[in-house]
Structure 1
């Protein structure tokens, strides 16, 4: 397990930077914080932000709130759910922790405080109108988390510098994709890096496929409102299998995690494409490229151009340009926290303050606070700016959520995709197995 701890104590930073609090996110009166040394420490666990990207948020928050110290722990997503749930259940977990729409929010709901009173007091009675898709982080009327960033799947990212160096064009159709991948592999590179060990990335790709075949049917089916055992879903499994059989995905994809394995291989220049969504938008910024130089020790990354494209048309007649998603990451406060006021102050500052959300906008992620616009000032090239602007209409009209609310259905689909990819299950049997899981979950 990769766990890194960053403890920041910057009470003097406000004086050093001359920072003034532009938004008064003082602790609410809902909880019972009782610091004994004049400073409250809030423990914060997340898979996103990581240890690098969390730093500016923590610095800015502590500058505005010198009475609160944030103790951050980063955990890779592959380990995050089990580690965090175990710690929260045993009473040794964080005060603030990341959550995600769907099964993760359902899982963490019993361990989370209801943030509604804090939102009403801090943001106002109309808080649900000011923040995007808060309903996706609510369970049985309880506001389990507050959205931090809004993202969508349905994209592929290109290492445009590598693609251009090979004299190629990013493919938009299935035929172009096969030709493109053959040329990339002939140059000794992987074509499309896939972390197929992780079911979430496989499900993202499957959604991209089924949304071309039968737009919207996926979301009705996984919610128990329609059958999953139909020819359209079987066809989507067939297309999924072809990505392995036709060499679109790299050899050994089923043994690679999306993070760090596939992510690192792509950013180190080992692959031309990767099926990540808009949560990677900061790859277009000078700031992020500088972080990659530090992380990977390769100065050439400072001049590498990463560009997002809509997922290619892998089905004849399929519609591209459709995105799916919502709040990618939200923040919850542990119901067992002994510093709920300070914890809620931090969680809401990240998600519902101008200061916190403007930092989000600078990373070129869609802010959850509707009044904060996307900031393209740090984006490197005009090509990247155009690509990011093209996402706007798709993000504002997403076809459905990325995550599945039933953990059992999500597991069944992830298992089916792995079994089909490895040849252990036919597409028809996979669709039937997922349909059976849906029936069991919603009977």
Structure 2
């Protein structure tokens, strides 16, 4: 009897898992309650994989040996409850990819903020050093699809808490935990502790051969660590104290100390600017040094790195007004980092699907730097309530085009218009990329 693998959800991770499962000889069936994108349908058809959309064949699903649940599907989903009640094992896509990755190494990067930037920078260093590597996970191609179609010696994986929720044996050779701030609480019964536990699962299967790179300046991480039994090699990084092993910044110098390798570099040479990016750069540098990459290659990559689309991305200067696309800021903390690096009067575009946001976290920065707020969402009450006594002008809009036009009207030469929504995008857009792209298109039309 073939192993029956049911895939719930047909996004990038679902389709990638289906392709890998099929390649490994599983009996694979993909079920999506919504519609499946044409490109993904084509991939499934080309691979000879059965699928359904707009419905779930419950009987067939509940006869599975194993279910791979897409990260977007919450536990409170009725079908997931039925699967759990029947004790059918539920795994995530990274678990399936891990099962078949062979002797390849995994660098798994997680945290509430800075994951994508750190993943991209780590990958850039690996590529610069000539490693046979791929960047996978939340940031692009599915990990499982990469394993199935083009296996590599090193996988740099951006990992979300949702993917970690359904691991069993997944083990990273190098685990990176950047920070933990309140995010996605709607998926964790509004209990911060549940979310913290989820993030720490990145090290639960690690052994004394592995490495754990983490931020020593993050109180949530340092409070949790003493409560855990850790079997891995800790490599902390800090901007507040020197560490014997790991990385730190003292004055304007970054120092990395891993085994025999010592790397020092001026932070003024970092391609990525801002305090939060100093942390991201240290984490990526330590991960690279742990892989045995020479310091010259680390320096070269860190100097020449280009930031990601939708993450503090310069769009254009229109009549002296600068437009920045930070659509990837889907939580309040990300917006805090964006505002922290602003040094011009700012018109801030906020709003979208609220995830239990506490806007008090950015109140001081808003007071100091923001001259006007443009809301871009279906329901903006919470934002208006939070800032009505701090910001003189708050305007409501319901599209990227209207938000850009309103922002431009309120700006003058020397100002910056910052799209850093602090919310998910699903009320008006397909995803944060779609939101960022519509923002950029509207700016180009000014």
TM-score for the superposition, normalised by structure 1: 0.28
- Considering fraction of residues, name the structure with more strand: 2
Greater RCO between the two (CA within 8 Å, min separation 6)?
Answer: 1
